[in-house]
Copies of this chain bind each other. A is one copy, B any other.
């Protein structure tokens, strides 16, 4: 992920320093476990732990360079690290990595990094939820038009729109917690997963201390269906970001102008057109959603490794693990910020509701006529005729409002009272269930209108 869309806190998780720190921790814990179960001397482990902790605490660019140098010769990253570690630890290093295979370190480390990344994403999600909740209550009674197919349908509230995104992000949080469990596993099972040179208790010891589960069957590698499920979840969350970004982009359109991204003082929307205030943040989120989703297909293609493992997944994961988590972290952080600062224009929302001459109340009028005894088919025909008459002449000299047209329709005359029509055309009736919905979503209805 390019630096432009990278937050340091997530990038740090994917740094070589963090990786080597985790590698050492896994090796050290495995040594402790082996000592515990009698395979290696406890004294040696003490030395490994002390000198190793010290070397990692003091880890510098020179150490990075040294490891790279060894890898250039051995062409094997774990061997390079172990050789460097041996230089730091001394003769006791011969007890490190005994009976283990590189993937025991690599895959368990990836699990730890993905868990760290996920915990950050969960925090991001909480901030999105918090921002949505605040604004949903703020605009619980802010009437706005609901739109299907981009066409005015019936009134709703702006808060209810946000509540819908809120529950979607609650689902996303639940999915991410499930995905975290998918990838929070540990494998220390040797060359093909038989524990041939290892006590299975080592794996349990390490797993427990790292907050992971022991993998039931690993085959040198942790099976990649777990990672596929994980990246699919990131893709679903990214799509949820795209949905709310698309909503805001629509609301900010020049013809709609019901909401607007905060525009910074000094900001220039266009080098050529000084009047521009563009929804660039939500457009950016739309693009980031595509990027995060682009990890889904390669992650699925990574599942069918050959036999006990091949290494085709590795180059994929070296990229998609940082890219997708960094991209999603950036997008979620941007999203919570923009929701919090979103400019909302209730007057414009109110004006837009009425901008089609009142035809948005056609559904309620239809029901009123049906209740008054007309067949559904007749009622539909009459209401559609008046709505179309209103719609097609909107803004022309001969244009009349929906109500005017209804009042003048002989098929309606006498069937339905003016009071009933008034009530059918009152947008506020559409909020009658809002308390019930908020109770369902937030566990509380909040203050009355």
Contacts and interface: CB of A to CB of B under 8 A. Distances in A.
A191 B196 CA distance: 44
Interface stretch (A18-26, A49-57, A114-122, A308-316): A308-316
A364 B196 contact: yes
Interface in A418-439: 429-434, 436-437
Given A146-B219, A225-B236, A430 B196 contact: yes
A155 B191 CA distance: 9
A291 B287 contact: no
Q: Counting chain B CB atoms within 10 Å of each CB, which of A94, A253, A351, A391 scores highest? A: A253
B156 A193 contact: yes
A191 B153 contact: yes
A42 interface: no
A300 B236 contact: yes
A370 B94 contact: yes
B308 A146 contact: yes
A217 B304 contact: no
A254 B148 contact: no
Interface string A243-284: 101110110111111000000101111111111111110011
Contacts of A79: 268, 271
A97 interface: yes
A79 B275 CA distance: 15
A441 to B, nearest CB: 5
B223 A303 contact: no
A311 B223 contact: no
A400 interface: no
A272 B239 contact: no
Contacts of A277: 151, 388, 391
Contact of A250 (B145, B301, B306, B430): B306
Nearest to A303: B239
B278 A151 contact: yes
A190 B266 CA distance: 23
Interface in A294-349: 294-298, 300-316, 318-320, 322-323, 348
Interface string A1-25: 1101100000000000000000000
B98 A367 contact: yes
Chain A contact patch, size range = 35 or more
Contact of A307 (B155, B250, B319): B250
Q: Quick one: which of A5, A191, A276, A319 has the most chain B CB within 10 A?
A: A191
A437 B287 contact: no
A270 to B, nearest CB: 7
Tell me how many chains of this kind the complex includes.
4
B153 A276 contact: yes
B308 A272 contact: no
A214 B255 CA distance: 33
A441 B271 CA distance: 28
A223 B168 contact: yes
Nearest to A295: B294
Contacts of A355: 254-255
Contacts of A288: 315
A348 to B, nearest CB: 8
Given A194-B156, A217-B160, A278 B316 contact: no
Contacts of A89: none
B271 A286 contact: no
Contact of A191 (B148, B182, B351, B384): B148
B250 A363 contact: no
Contacts of A290: 297-298, 301-302, 312, 316
Given A197-B363, A272-B101, A254 B309 contact: no
Interface stretch (A30-38, A70-78, A408-416): A70-78
Contacts of A370: 94, 98
B363 A274 contact: yes
Interface string A66-95: 000000011110110010001000000110
10 contacts: A76-B271, A94-B370, A97-B271, A147-B306, A149-B283, A150-B254, A151-B278, A246-B304, A287-B316, A291-B316
**Nearest 7 CB-CB pairings of A with B:** A146-B192, A275-B387, A287-B315, A149-B278, A239-B303, A232-B232, A274-B384
